[in-house]
Structure 1
Amino acid sequence: MDQSLVDRTLDYLSAGLAGDTRALDAVCDPGFENIRCDEAGRVVTLTRARFLSGFQTPGRQAYEKAGAISPLVTSEYDGHGTVVVRRVQGSVPVLHTLVWRREEGEWRTLLREFTFVRGMAECGQIQT
């Protein structure tokens, strides 16, 4: 497992937990998308602006109940890296797949985040 990719991902998730929009803004590519799907096959794609705005919403619930975070696997290809992470929100497992771009030897830019949840209501920024 690429520890530098895991560390960068954990920094990103920590920024989300803290609601640190400045850190999230700095790492997300201008074309970043957060793609969420659930067991029913529903898919919601959040643009970068929509994703970041959810962290500024008063009373937001996104990530507030996050528990243990476990990196499962990393993969590197053509200057890109992918990390799959499992975390627990409340008592519900959530899977994230994050796609990063390596720049000057460092994992700097997050291109995509794919999130699989049991139901869209579990996505704090999504109203069903």
Structure 2
Amino acid sequence: MHQALVDAMHDYFDAGMTMDLDRLDAIYDDEFENLRVDRAGRSITLSKDQFMARFRALKAQGETVGESVDDATFPASNVFGDHALIVMRRVENDEPSQYAFVWRLADGRPATILRELTFDHDISYLLAMVAAAQS
């Protein structure tokens, strides 16, 4: 199962880096949520709609979410019932970041991302951006 999850993650990364909004919309489960936590203990939960709105805004501005995820490693995975968890580690701007993705399985294969847990250095920028969008 680990390789199937790694392959699904790379498909997800490709969709994000090419700004393929239809593919991203299909990859994110309708119940998708991203829980982000930083070193100061701040946290925020983002919905699929918020994620997709951000992707649409970036694409409209001609921007992307990155060029490479060659530094990503996947040290652990686990299958439980109709779900699977894969842990990812990256080093961005000399700061290690860790993520955990919960995938919904269909016929034993990764189908959609249900949850993403992100452990960031600092999410103050994100909290400010969401607060500004809600004003």
TM-score range, shorter chain: 0.7 to 0.9
Match of 2:80 among 72, 77, 82: 77
2-structure distance, mates of 1:90, 1:53: 25
Structure 1 partner of 2:95 = 92
Q: In 1, Cα distance between the equivalents of 2:11 and 2:128? A: 23
8 A Cα contact 2:18 2:64, kept in partner: no
Kindly report the root-mean-square deviation, in angstroms, between the aligned alpha carbons of the 2 structures. 2.5
1:13 paired residue number = 13
SS of 2:56's equivalent in the other structure is: coil
What is the TM-score normalised by the length of structure 2? 0.81
Task: Structure 1: give runs of 5+ residues left out of the alignment.
Answer: none
Which structure shows the higher strand fraction? 1
Note closer, same or farther for the CA distance 1:89–1:67 as it changes in structure 2 (3 Å cut): farther
One-letter code of the match for 1:104? Answer: D
> What's the TM-score, normalizing by structure 1?
0.84
Give, as a single letter, the amino acid of the residue that structure 1 aligns with 2:76.
Answer: V
Structure with max Cα Rg: 2
Greater helix content: 2
Kindly state the Cα deviation for residue 69 of structure 1 after the two structures are TM-superposed: 0.8
Aligned-pair identity (%)? 35
- Once residues 100 and 13 of structure 1 are traced to their aligned partners in structure 2, the CA distance between those partners, rounded to angstroms, is 14
Matched residue, 1:109: 112
Structure 2 residue aligned with 1:31 = 31
Equivalent-residue separation in structure 2 for 1:85 and 1:126 (angstroms): 26
Once the two structures are TM-superposed, the CA of residue 122 in structure 1 deviates from its matched residue by 6.9
**What are the superposed Cα offsets for residues 50-72 of structure 1, whole Å, 9 maximum, x if unpaired?**
01111122366744675611111
Consecutive unaligned residues in structure 2, runs of 5 or more: 131-135
Q: In the alignment, is the contact (CA less than 8 A) between 2:19 and 2:64 conserved in 1? A: no
Distance 2:15 2:123 in 1: 22
